[in-house]
Structure 1
């Protein structure tokens, strides 16, 4: 049985004994009068239940930030990590391919210069045997070409100097009254067309017919018998 409270009231009927420090406990006849207190208690319970969930709500942004940091560090690690084959993975250079043979191609419309530095259209001298002397003066080979050239076929010598000298073409004592046409190609257009650099001790020969088509190229002039038939055919 409960004890009376401090005011002399006994415990509420039907309730067990309560701690005296709670004071007087009054149980109303109408429970609806406790609605306000019940709502307040529910609010307190919800707030109390929401506090432990706050670290969980912050967990997702922290997880995203952590993944971003790990991804960035992994990228830096992959870039800066030394590789065993670094410096040896360069692409292999393309194999050397010799220039295409100019035979069968049209001679470009080049203007060379004579002893007076006057322009001379090269295609105006066709048909012709053209001898490039920038690698070798080869006066004997020039004399052979002049002796074998049929009438109507020009013999032209070309040097890479600013202006040609008389000794760069006409040999001493030509076999007939014809003269070698001595020209210079300071711009290097003819050598560029050939795609072959000058070689010391070698003179390059081009045989060009009257239509301007290169019929044969000899990197080294050699004996006249090596191209006599093609030279004679230029007069046709």
Structure 2
């Protein structure tokens, strides 16, 4: 026997009234009558769980692919990237232009000073072998140059002091306190080393000797200056 419905057909025994929008609700006396509905509900629940298990975020496969590609590229880069070789032979670049680049250039019009502090135009002494002795007196090398110089060729030594020392035999000694000649040469002074320029009568540099050595190394050029 069914219980009264929710449409005002009488109160239920001990049960609250049901919402009117539910319509007519009939509760059967035999619960087995609901077996088919219960089985249908269970099937719907199982389908919902299977669908939830198969669902994957749409961007996840793409993300996995991108990570795999990046990992592969990183491995290839680590294998093929050129590696710097360590060498104990380290070379330091010269902070000045290579002296041979001065060959063929004109000597600047520099005024040096003599022992009496009088100005002396350097170009007025050409042709000349000009030896910078601001880092080394190198008397033996200067003496050799003076002995090998042909007539008409002046051997000039240049110091960096305010006062030029007394000239040796066959040598004109001047001072370059402003450092103009050393700046033109682009060779920094090195202790124990004298540098030299061979300049013809037209004022053109014909030879640069960053480290003045034995006279045989430049004798031919020195002889041509007097020709």
Residue 105 of structure 1 corresponds to which residue in structure 2?
105
Q: What corresponds to 2:140 in structure 1?
A: 140
The equivalent residue for 2:123 is 123
> Structure 2 matches for 1:34-183, cutoff 5 A?
98-100=96-98, 101-166=101-166, 169-170=167-168, 174=169, 179-183=170-174
How far is the alpha carbon of 1:160 from its aligned partner? 0.3
How far apart, CA to CA, are the structure 2 residues paired with 1:220 and 1:192? Answer: 16
User: What is the deviation of 1:135?
Assistant: 1.2
Q: Separation in 1 of the partners of 2:151 and 2:223?
A: 9
Once the two structures are TM-superposed, the CA of residue 153 in structure 1 deviates from its matched residue by 0.2
RMSD across aligned C-alpha pairs, in angstroms? 1.3
Residue in 1 that maps onto 2:200: 209
1:220 paired to 2:218 = no
2: CA distance between counterparts of 1:111 and 1:104? 21
Counterpart Cα distance in 1 of 2:144 and 2:157 = 13
* Equivalent-residue separation in structure 1 for 2:94 and 2:144 (angstroms): 35
Measured in 2, the distance between the counterparts of 1:184 and 1:235 equals: 24
Equivalent in 172, 189, 196 of residue 187 of structure 2? 196
The alignment status of 1:230 with 2:221, answered yes or no, reads yes
Q: In the TM superposition, what is the alpha-carbon distance from 1:139 to its structure 2 partner? A: 0.6
Q: CA deviation at 1:196?
A: 1.2
Could you say what secondary structure the match of 2:206 adopts? strand
Q: Secondary structure of 2:102's partner? A: coil
Could you give the per-residue CA deviations for residues 118-145 of structure 1, whole angstroms, max 9, x where no partner exists?
0000000000000000111011111100
In structure 1, what is the Cα distance between the partners aligned to 2:133 and 2:106? 21
Q: Return 5+ residue gaps in structure 2 as ranges.
A: 1-92
What displacement does 1:98 show? 4.1
Report the alpha carbon displacement of residue 163 of structure 1 after superposing the two structures with TM.
1.3
Tell me how far 1:182 sits from its aligned partner: 0.7
CA distance in 1, matches of 2:95, 2:143: 35
CA separation of 1:97/1:187 partners in 2, compared to 1, >3 Å: closer, same or farther? Answer: closer
TM-score normalised to structure 2 length = 0.57
Q: CA separation in 1, counterparts of 2:200 and 2:115?
A: 25
Task: Encode CA deviations 1:173-209: one digit per residue, 9 max, x unaligned.
Answer: x4xxxx2111000000000001111010000010000
Superimposed CA distance per residue, residues 85-107 of structure 1 (whole angstroms, 9 cap, x where no aligned partner): xxxxxxxxxx7664042111000
What is the aligned residue count? 133
